Structure 1
Amino acid sequence: MPNYRRILAAIDLSDEADAVLERAAGMAALHDADLHLLHVVEPLSLAYGGDIPMDFSEVQQQLQQQAESALGKFAQRLNIPKNQCHLLTGRPDAQIHELCESLDADLIIVGSHGRKGLALLLGSTANGVLHGAECDVLAVRVGRED
């Protein structure tokens, strides 16, 4: 089993992020690895395809501030230093790959809903991360009802 040195946990800041963080913290402790947290805020222009002729800059700024606050709370709970917390803007899979490369991370941990059918064909962040990563990827199943 490889000894991971630097782990990147990409979270969506929902309640489901707890499962991803729990697994990431466990893996980091097991391997005595540095744990980095990442959240990517998607630009509203991507979500709406530029079809709505409105200025979303104020709303986008509010989203950034809310994400920064939430990411800080997750990091504080796990005692992760600020310099190991990353808040980026863009397409999540692309930003995860870029940060992974710049950190020289050897494991990415993401949440996966295990979608099937049309959602699987259209892809997901976890799927995009898996297929573009140059390191190991651990997809933590989230959103299951036991």
Structure 2
Amino acid sequence: MSVYKHIIAGLDLSEESPQVLKKAAQLAHTCNATLSVAHVIEPLTFAYGGDMPVDLSEVQEQLQLKAEQELRRLAEQVDFPIRQEHILVGQPATELHQLAGQESADLIIVGSHGRKGFALLLGSTSNSVLHGASCDVLAVRVNETDERET
């Protein structure tokens, strides 16, 4: 019996994303689980306050296209089959919670930068994902100096 059946790796597409995806693939392999990847784009109306009299839909579409390409590139770098690649628009924790419910995922994996001081007080995406999740959440400590081992 495997501990997890469907794992979702929430990736922020930063330089540390390959580390998170590698850990997720290793765990999925060990558990004989399926692995999906997801990236959440915050809507520009959220990022810029929503009161700009400019149509940002084309910019949003470009961000989504770039994210799709980057997620596909990351998925090709791991030696494990990716069941599905999700690009979502919204607040990261909320979208990952909803996706996990829709996909019957039993584990969400995210990266954690181990922030301290003021940054810790502001919270983090990994902390937000942990609170309110209906499944297990694993925060992978990423090495910000980048460990490009294979």
Give the TM-score of the pair, scaled to structure 2: 0.89
1:80 aligns with 2:81: yes
2:145 & 2:16 partners in 1: Cα distance? Answer: 12
Which residues in structure 2 correspond to 1:39-58 (within 5 Å)?
39-58=39-58
Structure 1 residues not aligned, in runs of 5+: none
Percent identical among aligned pairs is: 55
Alpha-carbon shift at residue 123 of structure 1 (Å): 1.4
2:115 & 2:124 partners in 1: Cα distance? Answer: 8
Counterpart secondary structure, 2:66? helix
Alignment-derived partner of residue 104 in structure 1 = 104
- Is the CA contact 2:109–2:139 (under 8 Å) kept in the aligned structure 1? yes
Compare the two structures and name the one with the higher helix fraction.
Answer: 1
1:125 aligns with 2:125: yes
Alpha-carbon shift at residue 80 of structure 1 (Å): 3.3
Q: Which deviates the most, 92-101 or 134-143?
A: 134-143
Counterpart secondary structure, 1:132? coil
* Per-residue deviation, residues 3-57 of structure 1 (Å, max 9, x unmatched): 1111010001121101100100000000000001001111111111114332211
Give the TM-score of the pair, scaled to structure 1: 0.91
After TM superposition, the runs of 4+ consecutive aligned structure 1 residues lying more than 4 A away are none
1:66 aligns with 2:66: yes
Structure 2 residues not aligned, in runs of 5+: none
Aligned length: 145
2:17 & 2:139 partners in 1: Cα distance? Answer: 12
Alpha-carbon shift at residue 143 of structure 1 (Å): 4.3
